[in-house]
C-alpha cells in the first residue's frame, strides 16, 4: 500500500470572503515563523490532542478522537490535517480523513477510506487563549482551499450541533438533515460543501 504524499503549503496570500475576519497583520521577526499553516506531523499529536480535549470535554464531556486515534489518522492521511502555528506553538487545527459514502455513518468516526473523494472533517479546535479572535474561521477557509487543491477530493462533510449550523453555512456548507451518528445524548446535523470553488481560489492564490 502506497503512503499518501504530504502536500506542502507554500506561502501565499489568504483571500477570505467578506464577513470572515482576516489573519493577523505584519508580525515582528522571530526565529520561528510568526504565523505558519502546515500539515501536522506525529510529533504534533500530543499537543493538538490537549487542545481538543480541553475544547470538547469542557463543553460536551466527549472528545471526537482520543490520542491513539489522532496518531492513527496521522499515519494514514497527514495531508488532511492542517494546523495554525504561531511562533512554533499550535493555536488551532483541523483533523480530516477520506470517506467514500454519500452520508456519514458510525464507522466514519474512526475509518479512513483512501479511495474516497470526500474530506470528512472530524475536529476543528482552537486553543483557549486564542478563541473569539476569528482564528477558527481563518483556518477553516484555509483548510477548504487546501483540501480543494487535492485532485481526488471533491467535497467536504462534517457533523455539528444545531447552534453551529449558521457558522458553517458561511463557508458554503449546506445542512443535509439529521446525522446518523449519535454520541451519548448528543445529536448532530450533517453538512456538505462542494470544494470546486475553493479549488479555484487555491489555484489563483498559487499563481
Catalytic residues: 97, 111, 122, 124, 168
Q: Cell numbers for 93, please give them.
A: 487545527
The strands making up 89-99's β-sheet, listed across from edge to edge, are 36-38, 81-86, 89-99, 118-126, 155-160, 189-194, 174-178
Separation of alpha carbons 97 and 99, rounded Å? 7
Separation of alpha carbons 124 and 122, rounded Å? 7
Residue keyed to cell 504565523: 35
Look at residues 55, 62, 39 and name the one whose alpha carbon lies nearest to residue 131: 55
DSSP secondary structure of 104-116: --GGGGT---TT-
Mention every residue, 6+ apart, whose C-beta is less than 8 A from residue 66: 49
Amino acid at each position: 500500500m502506497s503512503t499518501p504524499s504530504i502536500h506542502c503549503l507554500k506561502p501565499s496570500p489568504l483571500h477570505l470572503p467578506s464577513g470572515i475576519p482576516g489573519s493577523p497583520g505584519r508580525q515582528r521577526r522571530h526565529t520561528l515563523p510568526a504565523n505558519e499553516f502546515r500539515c501536522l506531523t506525529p510529533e504534533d499529536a500530543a499537543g493538538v490532542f490537549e487542545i481538543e480535549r480541553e475544547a470538547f470535554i469542557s463543553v460536551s464531556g466527549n472528545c471526537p478522537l482520543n490520542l491513539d486515534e489522532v496518531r492513527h489518522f496521522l499515519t494514514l492521511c497527514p495531508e488532511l490535517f492542517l494546523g495554525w502555528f504561531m511562533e512554533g506553538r499550535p493555536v488551532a487545527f483541523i483533523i480530516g480523513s477520506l470517506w467514500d459514502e454519500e452520508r456519514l455513518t458510525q464507522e466514519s468516526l474512526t475509518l479512513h477510506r483512501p479511495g474516497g473523494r470526500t474530506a470528512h472533517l472530524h475536529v476543528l479546535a482552537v486553543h483557549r487563549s486564542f478563541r473569539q479572535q476569528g482564528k477558527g474561521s481563518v483556518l477553516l477557509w484555509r483548510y477548504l482551499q487546501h483540501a480543494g487543491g487535492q485532485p481526488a477530493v471533491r467535497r467536504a462533510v462534517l457533523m455539528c450541533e444545531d447552534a453551529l449550523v449558521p457558522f458553517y453555512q458561511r463557508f458554503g456548507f449546506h445542512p443535509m438533515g439529521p446525522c446518523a451518528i449519535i454520541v451519548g445524548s448528543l445529536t448532530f446535523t450533517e453538512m456538505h460543501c462542494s470544494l470546486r470553488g475553493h479549488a479555484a481560489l487555491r489555484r489563483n492564490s498559487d499563481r
